[in-house]
Structures are given as C-alpha cells and as structure tokens.
Amino acid sequence: MSKDYRCPRCEAVLNPDRSVILVAAHGPTRALIGFHPEPGNYEVYLPPGVAAEQGSRWDFSCPLCHADLAAAENEDLCELELREDDATSRLLFSRIAGEQATFVLREDHVEQAHGSDAVRFDPIWAQLKYIRI
C-alpha cells in the first residue's frame, strides 16, 4: 500500500522518493529534513552540519508553496495530508526534536497514535473517539 504525503495547501507530493521532505527552521538554522514515511518510525535525515537539539521546537513548511504546516489542534504539532489508496487522512506529528508522537486522524476520530510521547497529547483528543494501537 503506497503512502503519499501531501501539503495540505498546495497538495504537492512531499515524498517523491523514500523520505518525506520538509523545510525545517529553528533560529538561524534552515534546512531540508527528511522523515521516514512510516508513521511511528522516527528516523530523521538531516543534512551534514545540521543538528537538532533534543527538545528544540522547529517550524515546518512546504518546500513548494512555503505554507506553514502548524496544526490547529496544538502548538507543538504540525500536519500533512496522507493519502493511502482511496483514503485521505491528516497526519499530525510533534515538531519538538526527539519527541515521539504521531497521529493519523480520519474524519472525526484518531485512527492511529504512535510514539512513546503520544500520551502527552491525550487531552486534545478528548472530543474525539480515540483508538490507541
């Protein structure tokens, strides 16, 4: 089953090859960062010379239209559109370096929650049907 990650604004595919490529910025640092396309795999591909200090908060944007990918639900989450076959979901991930929390939301429920830090975000899903896997 193939996964297409898209910008929620311009719908550009952000994983043309293996990793999901986003513009990341923190202070004076600005770089393209690659993420593993499997939710719950926290392998990150940083360019040479770029380091992400644990606990630092990063801004992520679309490499094509430069849309800010911040999620409305929580200031520590960013979002992408995820298309698998015919299904479209929202993929929310923590923008804090080293924090492992990823959510797949479909319509009005949390379909998947991944990562050892996901529980920190429990309060924001209070209004949604929550299924932990």
Q: Which residues bind Zn ion (CB under 5 A)?
A: 7, 9-10, 62, 64-65, 67
H-helix or E-strand spanning residue 92? strand 87-94
State how beta strands 109-114 and 129-130 pair: parallel
Question: Is the Cα torsion angle 95, 18, 109, 111 positive or negative in sign?
Answer: negative
Q: Among residues 12 and 128, whose Cβ is nearest to Zn ion?
A: 12
Per the structure block, which two tokens stand in for 15? 């994983």
Smallest gap from Cβ 79 to Zn ion, in A, equals 12
Residue 9 beta carbon to Zn ion: minimum distance, rounded to whole angstroms: 5
Q: Least distance to Zn ion from the beta carbon of 61, Å?
A: 8
Smaller CB distance to Zn ion: residue 82 or 118? 82
